[in-house]
Chain A
Amino acid sequence: MWKWFHQLASPPHFYRLSAILSPWLAIPGLALIAYSTWQGLFVVPMDYQQGDAFRIIYVHVPTAYLSMMAYTIMATAGAVGLIWRIKLAHAVAAAAAPIGAAFTFLSLCTGSIWGRPMWGTWWEWGDPRMMSQLILLFLYFGYMALRGAIDDTAKADKAGAVLALVGIVNLVIVHFSVEWWSSLHQGQTVFRRGTMDAEMRLPLLLMILGFTLLFGSMLLRRIRTEVLYRERRTRWVREMILSPRGGS
């Protein structure tokens, strides 16, 4: 088990393996997304309260879910890198941040577009989830800005890990304080929970699964770039690039 783990965490091994793995995540992911997009847009009957606008949840929920998952991955990988000094973990954290920020931005945009016909406003300050997501986006920006400001990669890794860990503790507090705050101001009704028909729920679950697989493949691509850049002076990179077959 440990041997296998160490092998996986060794950069050249990971670099080779991820090239094989990536399409195996991307293809089923895209297929699932295509299928459930078709289902969600055309097949599933419309919601009796929200009409066809509810179809936005088929992109809103997966992006919101991944925005949080990416942050969890970023903080966990940062902690692993900090504690066990595994270099690959830091590459994972660095790669997760821009994807997480993109998904957070998307979940905010889709939530806002949903809010326009439902609440009659593009932006509802009183909605606790919108506020939490906005703060999450700021945390991503802070993380990426800190990394960008530090030239030394090893230093940027560790500083970023500390920030991500402080951020994840804080996100829990953000969640509760924002809930409390919006309860004071009688926040608007949010996406309804628990009352979805199975017919509507199945495409959503498939969509979440599809997006997760796609996210995995996007993450792998960025980790590969990070690994390649960090290992640019090593022998295996030189041998791979100068070999007659070439790498990618």
Chain B
Amino acid sequence: MDGFAMGGYGAYVWSCFALTFVIVVFSDWRARLRHKRVYRDIEVRLKALGDRE
């Protein structure tokens, strides 16, 4: 398992890659969620307008 320990630097290297992965995924997940929410809000408003007519 020396490949993962990296001569004692493993924790630093792996945490860097993991942190980058987590933050990029989190950021994109938030963006995706926001897109869905904006879309749904508009949809609800449009449907409500349509029903009133």
Interface residues of A (CB under 8 A from B): 37, 41-42, 46, 51-53, 55-56, 58-60, 63, 98-99, 102, 105-106, 109-110, 113-114, 116-117, 214, 218, 221-222, 224-225, 228-229, 232, 237-238, 241-242, 247-248
Contact = CB atoms under 8 A, between A and B. Distances in A.
A232 B42 contact: yes
Interface string B10-38: 10110111011001100110011011001
A218 B50 CA distance: 33
Given A114-B16, A225-B38, A238-B46, 14 more contacts: A42-B3, A51-B8, A52-B10, A52-B13, A53-B9, A56-B12, A106-B23, A117-B12, A218-B28, A225-B31, A228-B35, A229-B38, A241-B39, A241-B46
B38 A113 contact: no
Contacts of A110: 16, 19-20
Interface of B: 3, 6-10, 12-13, 15-17, 19-20, 23-24, 27-28, 31-32, 34-35, 38-39, 41-43, 45-46, 50
Contact of B17 (A41, A46, A248): A41
B46 to A, nearest CB: 6
A228 B38 contact: yes
A224 B42 contact: no
A106 B31 contact: no
Given A46-B7, A52-B9, A248-B39, A218 B31 contact: yes
B42 A241 contact: yes
B50 A242 contact: yes
A9 to B, nearest CB: 20
Across the A-B interface, the 7 shortest Cβ-Cβ residue pairs: A52-B6, A53-B9, A225-B35, A52-B9, A59-B20, A110-B16, A56-B16
A131 B39 CA distance: 40
B16 A60 contact: yes
A222 B20 contact: no
A226 to B, nearest CB: 9
